[in-house]
Amino acid sequence: MNNTGIGFDAYIAYKTNNSKIKKRLNKIGLGQLSYIYFVLYCLFTYKLFKLTIQQDGQQYTYEKVWFATVSNQPYFGGGMKISPNSCSKDGLIELTIVYNLSRFKLLLLFITVFFGAHTRLKEVVQISSSKFILSVDKELPCHADGELIGTTKKESEITYTVSLNSLKLADVK
């Protein structure tokens, strides 16, 4: 697995993959346009969440979170460089958190992600570790490599660990 995450990106995947729009557009070979439509739709309907992270004995809390993605390589979703410093051979995973952004600034962030420049924004945090425990304040969709794999439970913990050449995700229903 290259990356897995919760929040806005998984919500887009959920909405897109369960839409009649995508099915109709797929029939005429334009299914990818449904993704653009749902990015814009979700931009105005998505509800932000609170995220608490436990890592190496430390606890961090972020308010107004758009998404959190755990990566084991730099790229995500068709060439976006979500985690520029990720390396699948270093025994670490990288957590990228995007929070406290206006909806307009989030749109601008998508442009910078293709170059890895989003990491310069104060609203983007990246942490490296071999293990993260994430807690959220509500149910959220969860994806792995862009495919919806379930939903987090409200106030549950999601544990991400890595061993060399593997990433393990637990506690998603």
pLDDT number for residue 43? 92
Identify which has the larger pLDDT, 3 or 66. 66
For the stretch 40-56, pLDDT in tens is 899 999 999 999 999 98
**Residue with the two structure tokens 């593997």:** 166
Is the CA virtual torsion 135, 2, 127, 106 positive or negative? negative
Q: How many domains does the chain have?
A: 1
Does the pLDDT value for residue 76 go beyond 80?
Answer: no
pLDDT number for residue 90? 81
The stretch 116-129 carries a mean pLDDT of: 86
CATH assignment of the domain containing 152: 2.60.200.40
Alpha carbons within 13 angstroms on the beta-carbon side of residue 148 total: 17
Say which residues have a Cβ less than 8 Å from residue 47's Cβ, sequence separation at least 6: 138
For the stretch 123-165, pLDDT in tens is 999 998 989 999 999 999 998 887 888 888 887 788 877 765 5
Say which residues have a Cβ less than 8 Å from residue 130's Cβ, sequence separation at least 6: 91, 92, 93, 161, 162
pLDDT band for position 88 (cuts 50, 70, 90): confident
- Domain, as residue range, for 134: 3-170
Q: Please give the model's pTM, rounded to 2 decimal places.
A: 0.83
pLDDT number for residue 77? 66
Q: Contact, 76 vs 3, CB < 8 A?
A: yes
pLDDT number for residue 64? 97
What is the token pair recorded at 133? 């425990």
**Residue with the two structure tokens 């509500």:** 138
